[in-house]
């Protein structure tokens, strides 16, 4: 909250076991922040991740709350599958190139196994939200790696092969300078 403020924010996290997403959800709930988490399930189904979330939340409450924590059964987490499902660990055609492109254009390092899925989901959500108050941010291992994405004019769908370049994925069309301007503007609004 000290960096991002208390304005509504959606964090997007890649989720293997669900521990990071659940921890973020618990923190958001306990700090009463108007934030939410979109967790991209990489290994399990969203339903299985929800079961893990409930188990972890109950274990946390049993260990630390002793009846003081109310409402922990409803965390602000939405579990979603990858935009392009596949067997865990399989890298699709074009994903390495997409990781390079994100690094070159945006200055953010992503990998094709874990956080490229969260990056794609965050850009997808940014397009859907049209940079409203519910702007997506992206987390990896609980650390914020990108807090803002360019508005819809700078993000457009890519048509093509059934790979990273599929129309269900998004790529950044603006230069790194434009993205930096949007990030500066976003962080300025949050302060």
Domains defined along the chain, listed by start = 9-190 (3.40.50.1100)
Rounded CA-CA distance 27/69 in Å is 12
> How do residues 39-78 score in pLDDT, each as one tens digit?
999 888 888 999 999 999 988 888 888 766 777 878 999 9
Rounded CA-CA distance 144/108 in Å is 11
Report the phi/psi class of residue 171: left, alpha or beta, with left for phi > 0 and alpha for psi in -120 to 50.
Answer: beta
pTM of the model: 0.68
Rounded CA-CA distance 13/37 in Å is 7
Phi, psi of 108 (to 5 degrees): -120, 125
Q: Decide: 132 and 9 in contact? Cβ < 8 Å.
A: no
131 vs 1, residue with greater confidence: 1
């Amino acid at each position: 909250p000290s960096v991002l403020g208390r304005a509504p924010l959606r964090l997007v996290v890649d989720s293997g076991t669900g521990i990071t997403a659940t921890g973020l959800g618990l923190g958001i709930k306990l700090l009463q922040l108007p934030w939410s988490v979109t967790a991209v399930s990489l290994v399990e189904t969203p339903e299985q991740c929800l079961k893990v979330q409930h188990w972890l939340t109950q274990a946390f409450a049993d260990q630390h709350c002793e009846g003081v924590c109310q409402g922990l059964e409803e965390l602000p987490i939405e579990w979603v599958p990858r935009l392009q499902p596949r067997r865990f660990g399989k890298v699709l055609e074009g994903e390495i190139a997409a990781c390079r492109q994100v690094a070159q254009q945006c200055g953010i390092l992503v990998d094709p196994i874990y956080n490229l899925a969260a990056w794609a989901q965050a850009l997808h959500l940014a397009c859907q939200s049209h940079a409203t108050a519910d702007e997506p941010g992206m987390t990896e291992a609980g650390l914020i790696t990108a807090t803002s994405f360019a508005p819809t004019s700078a993000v457009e769908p890519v048509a093509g092969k059934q790979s990273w370049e599929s129309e269900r994925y998004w790529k950044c069309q603006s230069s790194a300078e434009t993205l930096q301007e949007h990030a500066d503007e976003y962080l300025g609004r949050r302060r």
